[in-house]
Structure 1
């Protein structure tokens, strides 16, 4: 069975630790949707597309291809990569979840006319707290965590970049839908029905009782991100206030003052007060502490 190029594609993205895995579980519980593990390379394909467009605009490759040729080739290449997985699953619709998809949702809408994007938003304090826990696991094993979660300041930077690009795409393209993690937890059926209507699929009751992601523990880094129990638990709200137990009051203040607010996220109470001089000093201290730990890890690995 060859992949139908006219079939819908669904791309889920958002800040790391914002609930994108839960959305992927939900979408994968639909009878028509294949939702595999993170692909990771959508951002790189989008970067290649932009380079090719730049080559055309400069005239360098204008006699070889036009922009439409480039976009069709990028769409075909992207979907070709998933052809075997879709065929073996017996499903017809791809749902690809990688957090960094949020950075390239505009590109996906421009070059893939059948692509629908779901941008997941979450309380930034909860995101930073979750990243902090992940970083602790890496540090405990003497390993360097991914840059975006190595410190509170790095997590804030990741949130700001992801929200800026993701929300800009949502404002410009009607095939990008932003959802709030807290809304999904509070009223899963309503939110999932909205998502199904958005992508043009029938809602199925089993979607709010998503199946476990049993294939997510086969990579060495998976142990730092989630347990098998977390990948199997039902939709619940028992983690919404957990950040208060993980972040210090000063760290919460940094998130509230340095994360940029947008209309969709104003209710989180961020950006209401400008950072003070002491806040900027605290941000630098956060970076410095993370750097010291990373340098110790490097030194240990060299021994």
Structure 2
């Protein structure tokens, strides 16, 4: 009797992904910007960025609003033909978001009557390459603080702190800050210096930004900076006092992983 022949086995492995449509591969050129050189404060959380922003916002030419969270503002192309329509306008989703972000900054500048805008959202450090693509002439101010002090501040602020998660979070910020501080266009300062010598540090920032220093910057409590509330920046009584308080130093007994200690030393801090 002839032996039955089994049909060839089908390959049940992974199905190759479909080729992306041409419009999905399209990278739009950069559109003209209404704001050519915005300023971004690049920092970790709990590093004094809100204090810096109210000092800058007290300048007659500088608008530094609350945290703007531009990276969370997205454009949704809701129909299959929408990318094709945008490509015909020399736009893609990323560039549409860039145009929207730029318009938000410009609108805030127009409303303020000032001519230089600063965004101090700490999480911007995680998307700094994207912000640089959006604004090739953006100017970064890198604001550092001893990682041990940041860990201590976060631990004190949170209701049920997870020490391991907090150290990982601070390390994530610190690694990105280490990259950003080597940017040749960056102006690097520390929170400790800002609170100890506010006039000297703010004079240096003004020189970097090309505006004259104003003594009124140090009297931020006499000016309107909007509401201080969660998700928009620091809302502590210390900040609301209207006075510059000396930064709390890192305590020697703060337990830091070796890499955070290494970065602290690279930034000029000593254990």
**TM-score normalised by the chain length of structure 1:** 0.64
How big is the shift at 1:224? 10
CA distance in 2, matches of 1:131, 1:225: 12
CA distance in 2, matches of 1:98, 1:156: 20
> Do the aligned residues in 2 keep the contact of 1:134 with 1:225 (CA within 8 Å)?
no
Does residue 23 of structure 1 match 2:52? yes
Question: CA 1:8/1:210 → structure 2, altered by over 3 Å: closer, same or farther?
Answer: farther
| Aligned position for 1:98 | 121
Change (3 A) 1:7 1:225: closer
- Equivalent pair of 1:214/1:231 in contact (CA under 8 Å): no
1:232 — aligned with what?
A: 241
- Partner residue of 2:110 out of 87, 91, 111: 87
Superposition RMSD in Å: 3.4
**Aligned counterpart, 1:255:** 256
**Runs of at least 5 residues in structure 2 that lack an aligned partner in the other structure:** 1-32, 76-82
Show structure 1 runs of 5+ residues with no match. Answer: 50-59, 140-149, 270-303
Q: How many residues align?
A: 230
Q: Is the 8 A contact 2:141 2:188 kept in 1?
A: yes
Higher CA-based Rg: 2
1:186 matches 2:214: no
Which deviations, in whole Å up to 9, do the C-alpha atoms of 1:115-152 show, x marking residues without a partner? 1111211112211121112113xx5xxxxxxxxxx322
Paired with 1:228 and 1:222, the residues of 2 have a C-alpha distance of 16
Mean CA deviation greater in 198-207 or 256-265: 256-265
Shift of residue 64 of structure 1? Answer: 3.7
- Deviations along 1:175-199, whole A, 9 cap, x unmatched? 3222111111222122112112222
1:277 alignment counterpart: none
Moved more, 258-267 or 77-86: 258-267
TM-score, with normalisation over the residues of structure 2?
0.71
CA distance 1:34–1:257, change in 2 (3 Å): same
Q: Structure 2 CA distance, aligned partners of 1:176 and 1:110?
A: 16
**Corresponding residue for residue 268 of structure 1:** 270
Q: Greater helix share, 1 or 2?
A: 1
Residue 24 of structure 2: aligned partner = none
Higher relative contact order (CA 8 A, sep 6+): 2
